[in-house]
Amino acid sequence: MSLCLEYQPSCPRLFLVWGYDSYKTQLMTIPFYVVALFSFAGTCYFSDKTGHRGFFIAGGVVCEIVGYIILIASNPLGSRYFGCLMIGLGIYICSGLSVMWINNNNAGHYKRATAAGMCTTVGNSAGALAGQIYTADTAPRYFKGLKVALGLTCAALVFCSLMIYNYYSLNKKKERVLAAMSADEIDQMNANLAHKDTDLTFKYLL
C-alpha cells in the first residue's frame, strides 16, 4: 500500500511523458488534491460515525486497484487520467486511516507511539523501491512499476481483510470471557485495569 504513495508526486512527470507541457501538468494535478480533500474528509467523518476503520481502508485499496488496472489496460489519455484520480482517491484514504487505525487499536502511550512510528517508517521506505521500478527505460507507460504496485496493493487488501478478521475474533474472545465472569470478578478487574489493549474491556475498532 505504501508504494502507492510514491506514485502521486510523480504524476507531473507522468503527464510530461504523455506529451503535455509543464504548465498544463501542474494544472492537471489540482484535481488530485481536490479529490483527496473531499474523499478523505468524508471518509473520516463516516469512519468516526460508524466506528470502523478497516472497511474504509479496504474500500480505498479497491479504488487504487481499479486505478492501476485502468492505467495498465487502457490506452486513451482520458481514461488513464481517470485511473490516476482513482489511485489518488484511495491513497489519501488509506494513508490517513491506517495511522488512525493503529493509534485506535494500540493502547498505552509507548506502544501507540512505537506502532505509529513503525507505520510511518514502512510507508516512507516506499521511496527506495519506487525509484527502482519506475525507471526511465519503461516510460511512458511504466508497466513494470504499475504491475509491481498493483501486486502490492492486492496484497494490502488481503492483509487488511486479515486484520479486520483478527480484530473481530479478539473482540469476540473478550466478550466470551467477560460473559463467563461473575459481577464481583468484573468489579475487581475494573479496579485493577492496566489500560492496555489487552484489557478485556478494550474493544478493537474493525
Cβ partners under 8 Å of residue 79, min gap 6? 70
pLDDT (tens digit per residue) in 107-152: 888 888 888 888 888 877 777 777 788 887 887 888 888 899 899 9
The residue assigned the cell 523501491 is 129
| pLDDT band for position 156 (cuts 50, 70, 90) | very high
The DSSP code for 138 is G
pTM of the model: 0.87
The residue assigned the cell 474528509 is 41
pLDDT (tens digit per residue) in 11-59: 766 776 777 777 788 788 888 888 888 889 999 999 999 999 999 999 9
Half-sphere exposure of 102 (CA within 13 A, CB side): 17
